[in-house]
Chains A and B, each alone.
Chain A
Amino acid sequence: MPRKQTPLRPYFEKMAGIGKELSEGEIRRSKNNVDLIREQEEILAREIDRVNNAGVPAEKIHARGGMTVYDRLEYLVDAGTWNPLHTLYNPRDNEEGCTGVVDGLGKIEGRWAVIIGFDNKVMAGAWIAGQAENILMVTDLAKRLNVPLVWLTNCSGVKLMEQESVYAGRRSSGAPFFRHAELNRLGIPILNAIYGTNPAGGGYQGISPTILLAHEGANIAVGGAGIVGGMSPRGHVDEEGARALIDAARDFKAKPPGRVETHFDKTAYFREVHETEQGVLDGIKDYMRMMPAYDPAMFRVAEPAEPKFPAEDLNLILPANQKRPYDAIQLLARLTDNSEFMEYRPDYGPEVFTGIAKIDGFPLAFIGNRQGVFPDYPEYAEGTYPGVGGKHYRQGLIKQGEFVTLCGRDNLPIVWLQDTTGIDVGDLAEEAELLALGQALAYSIEQTDLSMMCIVLRKGTAAAHYIMGGPQANNNNAFTLGTPLSEINVMHGETAAAASYARRLVKEAEAGRDITPVVDKMNRMIQDYQDKSHPAYCAMNGFVDEIASLTDLRNYIQAFAGANYQNPRSITPVHQMLLPRIIKG
């Protein structure tokens, strides 16, 4: 009878338990908190609904016998595995109210993929402002996670009335073709389900992936057949010219080039052609089954387990009131398998926790801010002021830098749980080298080749938002989530108003003038900060990749873990890991 086990069982099978059940008093006191979170979730739900209903109504597509991008995703993605990203992203605030692409992380036939499709309700999937940046974030994600990219192409090309906002520039709509080439070069396959008419930009969108599967009505081409008039030599259109155009357009019967008759029958670019829209998606599923993916048992260090405590507790634990402290370990206990955590240096740098936890049986590193007050800390303050949770001090920065470096050595993807007001400031902080230690953490992150995901639980402020695996860590950050309580800004509005207007107030007061106009300006500035820091604003402007409900956070972490361990580029044999040994001592 063979005997089998997971690796380093004494370390990983049963780690230290964390968290405890909420007391009756905590539940009673926090009911209002749940209401405040629900309020924010309803605001976000309305915004998501607006994006989902952008463009022509779904019924119109259905009446033509077609599927919307949402129908296609529902058919394609394994039930319960869809983790949407960039839903509200619209950085140019365009009139469509979205970027015209829908994307996320999901499983197809049991394998993780980054999936993106053109929203065929929105100008037949045209290139619109903000879309290129969205696509670049998606191709970067596939590269970071080393998982297939699946496209649902249905792209009418440039929105011609606004070509200047999409066509030219370093990160414009042409850049994704180079990203596709880069993914192919790196050995990351791109599967493409092609629908509808895809001329010019749409044509390159069609041709640039690895495997092309087409619907029988699809076409891809260098240019469309719709340019009937050619260039006007007069440089303007007069009535005579317009009437000639009417006649030409009326008689225009040509079929678009690049149809199946060409690119299946003659060039054989399309591997498959399907009579139905679902058939193309079935073809994508067939190819997904061919994608490289290890059995999870290869990397699991224990059997998957749910946290001991319910996810709904998170809405009671994380205070909507940004000034209220909470127990971050209670929060962590609602995210990790069996509510266990192997903490690294718990007695050093108490303002942050660092350690290893399991997610679906995979080992992941977690780093987060603790909240509350730390008497007799930081040591360099020598009692002149106490440490406050959310801030970073010398020991905490050193600990994070060490831990990240060791995670790099052990190939442990990192989940950052940010709720930070910044790094300590002042002469003592400078003498304690916090400026250099902050940058040293950025260097440590960059020195690893680790995937990281960042969750901004509440505050993402000052440089601490950057150095805690924020989206600015371009080469490591796979994606960043906000929550209904996120607030991302360089500093709190009141602090910014004081910094901006303190001298002016002094001048006005010393001159004996009325200070009310300055006070009004300060309050307008505070309001402006609030308007430009809230969750929906953060999502629209790409400060985060998605706002997730607190109860959905574990789903995203599971997707992150599963995708990272599906086909890793680098492997540390579990029995050769150092971190668990260092933690044990």
Chain B
Amino acid sequence: MSEEVTAPMSGSIWKIHVKVGDKVNYEDELVILEALKMENPIYAPADGTVSEIKVSENDQVEANQVLIVLD
């Protein structure tokens, strides 16, 4: 069952720490979203493997936009 990781708010993707195929643990930091002069880390909601990365660094994203898919 896949799990979608979404942006909690609109902002700019500053860093992506993972690549497709990486195994991640629950609460690992996957992405840093820069918004309102803050770095907002986005964590893995569960253990899994990165199956898809839907954004690139410096992309502007909206709240609830899917950033990463975990299997």
Contact = CB atoms under 8 A, between A and B. Distances in A.
Interface size class of A (residues with CB under 8 A): 10 to 19
Contacts of A373: 9, 35-36, 38, 40
Contacts of B40: 325, 373
A25 B27 contact: yes
Interface residues of B, number: 14
Contacts of B27: 23-26, 28-29
B38 A325 contact: yes
B29 A29 contact: yes
Contacts of B37: 323, 388
Given A25-B25, A28-B27, A324 B36 contact: no
A25 B40 CA distance: 16
A28 B38 CA distance: 21
B39 A324 contact: yes
Contacts, number: 37
B39 A321 contact: yes
Q: Which of B9, B35, B37, B40 has the most CB of A within 10 A?
A: B37
Interface string B14-41: 0000000000011111000001111111
Nearest to B29: A29
Given A25-B25, A25-B27, A29-B27, A323 B35 contact: no
A57 interface: no
A386 interface: yes
A325 B38 CA distance: 7
B36 A386 contact: yes
Nearest to A25: B27
Given A324-B41, A325-B40, A25 B35 contact: no
Q: Which of B26, B38, B39 has the most CB of A within 10 A?
A: B38
Interface string A21-50: 001111011000000000000000000000
A25 B36 contact: no
Interface in B17-71: 25-29, 35-41, 43
Nearest to B40: A325
A26 B27 CA distance: 7
A260 to B, nearest CB: 65
Interface string A170-210: 00000000000000000000000000000000000000000
B28 A323 contact: no
Contacts of B28: 25, 28-29
A168 to B, nearest CB: 47
A323 B38 contact: yes
A25 B38 contact: no
Interface of B: 9, 25-29, 35-41, 43
16 contacts: A25-B25, A25-B43, A28-B28, A29-B43, A321-B39, A323-B39, A324-B39, A324-B41, A325-B38, A325-B40, A373-B9, A373-B38, A373-B40, A375-B9, A388-B36, A388-B38
Would you list the 6 A-B pairs with minimal beta carbon distance, nearest first? A25-B27, A323-B39, A388-B36, A323-B38, A324-B39, A29-B29
